[in-house]
Amino acid sequence: MLSPQQLQSYKDSFDEFGYVIVPSLFSPVETDSLRDHYMALRASGAKEHDMVAETKIDADPLQKYPRMIHMHRWDKKSLEWMLDERINQCLTAFFGCPPLACQTMLYFKPPGARGQALHQDQYYLRVQPGTCMAAWMALDPTDEENGCMQVVPGSHRWPLLCHTKADPTKSFTNTTVPVPEEMHPVPTIMQAGDVLFFNGFLVHGSHPNTSTDRFRRSLIGHYINGYAEKVTAYDHPVLRMDGSTVEMGDAEAGGPCGIWVDHEGQPAIEMSGVEARGALAAE
């Protein structure tokens, strides 16, 4: 568990930038066990809620290693990780209230796999009121070669942005959000067992894995603030961190979104767009 001083320091960074990396939150033994566990699950065949990326690429490695979603609904080890007290401690500090748990995901990202274009998780989860938060745990060392997470610092203060088409040769999702050149994303270099926490409005994504022999496996939990009343129906049931179920309304996608405009020579967001109903899951 983190000390009060450590927790406050991480919270200060989270509040300022919209994300923070908590190093070595899980031990090498725990991380190795989880990595082996999910590789065995993937090798055992298809699972409910698997999401296979659409592709026209020959021998796309993501077809062999589709991402898993909602593993906590049928896998005890996933549920235990999702509700772990160390994650709860961090989320409670960053939210400023007890969190609620609603989604788990496992990205395998084998060598040669595409990344995911820039996006905001709140676009998918639709938490009302408030927002969601991700706990993104590296199961392998991650860097720019194997497609580490990229984040836009401070973008958690932005509203939901309107989507445009993504490059399908680089992203397994077909939409993205544009970002002004001077606000470019920065890489998050992590070791296995580090956990990246980030706000649901933070713009983030990843580049392809250009390595020849390195996976970039990551285990993700998505959470919502404890005073939320609605989330997308896809993410029901919602759990308290003691594992009990909490009643939650269904949030619908769609509505106004922001576009970038020039304001006295500086980029600014204007809420003049209308977005379509969104997809279901994000990195």
Task: List strand residue ranges (DSSP E) for the chain, in order.
Answer: 19-22, 68-69, 99-107, 116-119, 132-138, 149-151, 164-165, 175-176, 186-187, 195-199, 204-206, 218-225, 230-232, 238-240, 245-246, 249-251, 255-263, 266-275
Strand partners, 134: 198, 222
Confirm whether 280 is domain-assigned. Answer: no
Q: How many degrees, rounded to 5, is the angle at CA 231 between CA 22 and CA 276?
A: 105
What pLDDT was estimated at residue 56?
64
What pLDDT was estimated at residue 273?
73
Confirm whether 281 is domain-assigned. Answer: no
Residue 10 vs residues 87, 88, 96, 197: alpha-carbon distances, Å: 13, 14, 13, 10
Say how many domains are in the chain. 1
What pLDDT was estimated at residue 254?
76
What pLDDT was estimated at residue 278?
46
Residues of the chain with pLDDT under 50: 278-281
Strand partners, 164: 176
Confirm whether 23 is domain-assigned. Answer: yes
Take residue 11 and report the two structure tokens written for it: 């919270």
Confirm whether 28 is domain-assigned. Answer: yes
CATH number, domain of 247, equals 2.60.120.620
What pLDDT was estimated at residue 59?
79
Instruction: Answer whether 50's CB lies under 8 Å from 74's CB.
Output: no
Confirm whether 158 is domain-assigned. Answer: yes
Identify the three-state secondary structure at position 103. strand
Structural domain boundaries, residue 243: 4-275
Identify the three-state secondary structure at position 37. helix
Confirm whether 283 is domain-assigned. Answer: no
